[in-house]
Amino acid sequence: MNKFKFYFVVISFAALLFSCNNNDDTPEPVPVRAFNVQYYTDITTIEAYLNSYYIVNDVNNPDFADEDITFAKIPDGGGQKSIFKFLNSNSYPKLLTKDVLLHDITYKIYYLKLRADNELGKKPIRVDEVLAAYSGFYLSSKTEEAGTIIEGTPFETVVFPQSMLGLDRTIRGWGEIFPRFTTGIYDATLSPDPASFTNFGAGVMFLPSGLAYFNSPPLGSRIPSYAPLVFTFKLYDVKHADQDQDGVLSKDENVVDENGNFTNQDTDKDGRSDYLDIDDDGDGVLTKNEIKINGVIPTSYDLILDCSGLTTGTKKHLDKSCF
The residue ranges that bind Ca ion (CB under 5 A) are 242, 244, 246, 248, 266, 268, 270, 272, 277, 279, 281, 283, 285
Distance CA 259, CA 261 (A): 6
Closest CA to 212 of 39, 37, 24: 39
Q: Which is nearer to Ca ion, 103 or 272 (CB)?
A: 272
Residue number with CB closer to Ca ion (99 or 283): 283
What 3-state DSSP class applies to 262? strand
Minimum separation from the CB atom of position 256 to Ca ion (A): 14
Smaller CB separation from Ca ion, 222 or 320: 320
CB of 275 to Ca ion, least distance (A): 5
Q: How far is the CB of 299 from Ca ion (least distance, A)?
A: 16
Nearest distance from C-beta of residue 126 to Ca ion, angstroms: 14
CB contact at 8 A, 246 and 291: yes
Distance CA(160)–CA(195), nearest Å, equals 11
Nearest residue by C-beta to Ca ion?
277
Residue 294 C-beta: closest distance to Ca ion, Å: 19
Q: Distance between CA 314 and CA 320 in Å, rounded?
A: 19
Nearer to Ca ion, 176 or 244 (CB): 244
Contacts of 208 (CB under 8 A, 6+ apart): 38, 39, 42, 43, 46, 107, 108, 109, 173, 228
Residue 294: CB atoms within 10 Å = 8
Instruction: Name which of 156 and 246 has its Cβ closer to Ca ion.
Output: 246
CB of residue 307 to Ca ion, shortest distance in Å: 15
Which CB sits closer to Ca ion, 118 or 273?
Answer: 273
Task: Say how far apart CA 1 and CA 7 lie, in whole Å.
Answer: 18
